[in-house]
Each structure stands twice: as C-alpha cells, then as structure tokens.
Amino acid sequence: MRRSYTYLDDAFLCKAILIISNGLTLSGITVFDEVLLEEFKWSRSELKFRDFLNLVCAAIILPFIGALIDRYGVKRSILFGLGLLSICYYLYSGIGQLRDMYLLHIGFAFVVATSGVLAIIIMVSQRVKEKRGLAIGIAVAGTSLGGMIIPQIGTRLLEQNEWRTGFKYEALLPIFLLVVVLLLLRDRRNATKEEASATEDQEEPSFTFKEALRSPTYWGVGLAGFLSYYAILAIISNLFLYLRSLDFTPVAAGNALSLLFGIILGAKFLSGFLTDYFSQFKLFRIQFAIMTVGAVLLALGDASLIIPALVVIGLGWGGMYTLFNYIIIEAFGLKSAGKIGGTISTLESIGGGLGIWLTGLLYDQYGSYSQGFWVVAAFVATSFIISFFIRPTTKTTVTE
C-alpha cells in the first residue's frame, strides 16, 4: 500500500532544491576558478568580485522577495529561481570578459533570493511544528550536500571536457529539478482547507516586522550573521585556490572541499536533532566556540593543520547554520517570516560577499591568505561574544 505524501517529504525535496541552487551558485562554481584565471588572466580579486556582486545584490532584493513570499507563497518563487539558474549556467559557457561574468552573477543573486535558504526555511516551517528543528536540519543539509556533490561533478566534467562544455552540461541540472518541483512541491496556499486550518492551529504567536526590529535578538542574530557569513564564505570560496597553491591536485582540492561540506552536513543533522531536546541558544554558543577554534587553526598557516582545521570548522558552522535559521523562526514566528528572515539574510549576504571578495583582495595585496584568514578568525570570535546577547524573545520584552 502506498503511503501518503507528508510535509516531511517536503523537507527532503527542499534539500534537493538547495543542493542545486546553492551548490551551483556558491561552492560548485569554484572548481572552474583556475581555468578562468588561466584563460582570462584576471586577478583573484577581479574573479572573486563576481561573488561579492552575487551576494550583495541578493541582499538588496531579499527583503522584497521575502515580502512577496509572505503574500503569494513560495512555490512560484522556487520555480523561477531554478529556471533562471539554468539559463545563467548556459550563458556562462559563452563569457568573454569580466562584464559578462559579473552580469551573470547578478542573475545568480535572483536565484539565491528566490530559491535559496530563505524560501526553503519558510516552506518547511509552515508545515512542521513538531520536530521542526529536525525538519529544518534535513532541508538545510542540502547546502552541504551541494558543496559535496556539485564540485565533484564539476571536476569530473573538467577532466573530460573543455570548461565551456562543462557549464552547458551543468545547466541541465536545474531543469530536471524544476520538473520535479512542479509536479511534487505543494504550495501552502494550495493546501486543502483542513490542512491549512490544522497548520494555523499549531502556529505559535508571531511578531510583526516592526516588533522584531525592537528586539535585541533580531539585531544580535543579524550582526552575528554578518560576521560569520563573512568568515565561512571567505573560507569556502578561496579554499580550492588555497589548496592548489599548496600543490594539491585539482581532484585532491575538490575532495578537501567535499570533506568540509561532508562535516558540515553531519553537523547540520545533529544540530537539528538536538534543538528538539536542548536549548537552541546554548547550542548556538557552543557552535560558535567550536568554529572559532577551527578558524584559528586555519589562520596559523600550517599545512599539517589544514585538514583538522576544516573538520573543526565544519562541525562548528554546520550546527550554527541550522541554528541561525531555527532561531529566527522560533523567536519571531511565521507571520512576517519573509520580511524578518529577508532582512537578516540581507546582512548575511553582504557579509558573505565581502568575505569572498576582500579575502581575494588581501591575497592580491600580500601574496598570501594569512592576513585574510586571521580576519576570518577575529570575526568568528566576535560572533561568539555576540551570541551571549541572543536570547529568547517574548511579546512583553519587545513592547516594553
């Protein structure tokens, strides 16, 4: 007998969406960096400015996309993002100058905003209250799986094809998933009356956007998000080139990147599971402490510490990533989740974009990643301090 489709199935489908949307726009594209630098003779800061454009443009539009999701639902948003991603990847195969690449990464900004983490977190949170932490952990694990799977696909394509052909092949991936989403993903606005009523009955008291702005937790999460996203995206985006400079082969560098995302993946699942049993705010501080240790190990510049550093960073960031998204929903509810999450995502995106670009710029200035990674370590340590000011929020504490 065939079992009925459940909202938990949506969590697994959302994970697949993030594998493609995040994997192709952030981690997976880095395996093409070396061939692009060789062919076009760009500096690293010129190359990495594309990611800065991607994330800063996403930061600008995320609050507006969040408001549209609150009003119209998330399925159309995801379908638009996947379709645009396929078009951008196909056009990437024909770039001839920096301007072409930059324009396509502005397109990626709309992909990140419409079919990225914000849309996925809202989709899952609307459907799951009991074991919500686990459901969110399952969904956001897609960002890590994307970092594990997509770079492996890219490196294999580069071994057998010219890089422009590799982009054309990868442009097919969003199309396949778009068809699956069109057929299977249920928009809450189209749910039956009984399902909608049951979900509404389960929902906690929610904050308006203006109420959230008066909460120290909102600003604590936003500032910690800015600093920690600067750190992790600086590491992820520059790791492949860093390892190549240490004489790692392209395959070995890709494997190290996949290892990092594998550790992050496990930590996301574990953190999502633990949030249903322990205080997410205490877990949040623990994860920041762990990542601080890993960032310091990476900044020391000892080749023998690279793999241990990546393991520790993965453990810290993976749990932290799930908790960022979980705390926003638990602290402020779903009424204005798009606007609240969208504005916090704006700060995170700006931080991430700056981390990617400025780390490359510091390399160009000093010929080493040491300075850039010490900045990363300092930012993570500062986020750890800020985490002590992120506490449970009630209507009373906000309105007083």
pTM check: above 0.75: no
Give residue 395's pLDDT. Answer: 53
**Residue 144, domain extent:** 7-399
- Are 221 and 328 in contact by the 8 Å Cβ rule? The answer is yes
Residue closest to 58 by CA, chosen among 352, 356, 358, 339: 352
Report if residue 314 sits inside a domain. yes
Report if residue 51 sits inside a domain.
yes
Q: In this structure, what token pair is assigned to residue 176?
A: 């396949």
Residue 2 lies in a domain: no
Q: What pLDDT does 163 receive?
A: 95
CA–CA distances in Å: residue 142 to residues 31, 65, 94, 216: 19, 21, 29, 30
Is 1 inside any structural domain? no
Q: Which residues of the chain have pLDDT under 70?
A: 1-8, 130, 186-205, 276, 334-337, 394-400
CATH code of 351's domain:
1.20.1250.20
- pLDDT of 200 reads 46
Q: Is residue 225 part of a domain?
A: yes
302 occurs within a structural domain: yes
Which pLDDT score, from 0 to 100, does residue 257 have? 80
Question: What is the predicted pLDDT for the residue at 199?
Answer: 47
Tell me if 254 is assigned to some domain.
Answer: yes
Domains identified in the chain, total number: 1
| Residue 70, CA distances (Å) to 55, 82, 119, 126, 167 in order | 22, 20, 10, 11, 34
Is 211 part of any domain? Answer: yes
